[in-house]
Every structure is written in structure tokens, then in C-alpha cells.
């Protein structure tokens, strides 16, 4: 899957939006970008994917996941109202019960 940000019209805008979100969330900008994240929350298997809505348990309605950032000990999942234009991102612990799937392209090649 090629890197994208759902609200961006082209690759240049995608990089700008991704960078702005990362700066706002104090998240690192890495060469490898997360496309999909799988984790276990209270004994329930969870999954999110850039460009798709989160599970209804997060009460974000039909908001799309804009970006997923890999930080030192956790992941930050960003939607419009959870880390995008307001609010805090959804935090997922980085542990043996979480795994990231990356976009297949490298945006910095």
C-alpha cells in the first residue's frame, strides 16, 4: 500500500499534513510509516487502518484514521477529533500484543 493521508489531495499535501500532525502530537517522523495497527485492549483484539474508521468502542463515529505514529513506548492514532484539529490521540502501548504493518513504499527515496 502506498503512503497516503486521507484528507490530502496529493503526495506533497500528504507529507505536509503528516508533518503537521507529527509536530502537533510531538511524534517522530520516521521513514517507515504505519498503515495498519493491531493490538489487544482489555482482552479484545483491536485493529485500525489509515483511511478507515476506528472501532465503535472509541466513539469517534465515522472519522477516518488520519495517521498512526510510532513513538518510543507507544503508538499514537490520530483522527480528526482525536489528535487532529483537537483532542488527544488514542494511545496504544507498544508491547508483545501490538504489531504494526507499514506502508510498502518509502516516501523518502
**Could you tell me if residue 108 is inside a domain?**
no
Residue 5 inside a domain? The answer is: no
Nearest C-alpha neighbor of 77 from the set 105, 55, 96: 55
Q: Coil, helix or strand for 13?
A: helix
pLDDT tens digits, 65-107: 999 999 999 999 999 999 998 999 999 999 888 999 999 965 4
What average pLDDT does the structure give for the chain? 92
Domain that holds residue 51: 11-102
How remote is the C-alpha of 81 from its chain's centroid? Answer: 13
Using alpha carbons, select from 101, 45, 54, 41 the residue that is nearest to residue 82: 54
Indicate whether 52 belongs to any domain: yes
For residue 7, which phi and psi values (nearest 5 degrees)? -85, -5
In a domain, 2, yes or no: no
109 falls within a domain: no
Q: How many CA atoms lie within 13 A of 71 on its CB side?
A: 18
As a whole-number percent, the residues of the chain with pLDDT over 90 amount to 76
Residue 76 lies inside a defined structural domain of this protein: yes
The number of distinct structural domains making up the chain is 1
Amino acid at each position: 500500500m502506498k503512503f497516503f493521508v486521507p484528507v490530502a489531495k496529493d503526495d506533497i499535501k500528504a507529507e505536509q499534513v503528516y508533518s503537521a500532525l507529527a509536530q502537533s502530537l510531538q511524534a517522530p517522523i520516521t521513514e517507515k510509516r504505519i498503515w495498519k495497527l493491531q493490538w489487544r485492549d482489555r482482552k479484545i483484539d483491536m485493529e485500525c487502518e489509515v483511511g478507515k474508521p476506528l472501532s465503535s468502542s472509541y466513539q469517534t463515529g465515522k472519522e477516518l484514521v488520519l495517521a498512526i505514529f510510532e513513538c518510543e513506548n507507544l503508538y499514537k492514532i490520530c483522527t480528526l477529533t482525536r489528535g487532529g484539529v483537537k483532542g488527544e490521540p488514542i494511545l496504544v502501548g507498544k508491547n508483545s500484543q501490538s504489531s504494526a504493518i507499514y506502508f510498502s513504499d518509502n516516501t523518502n527515496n
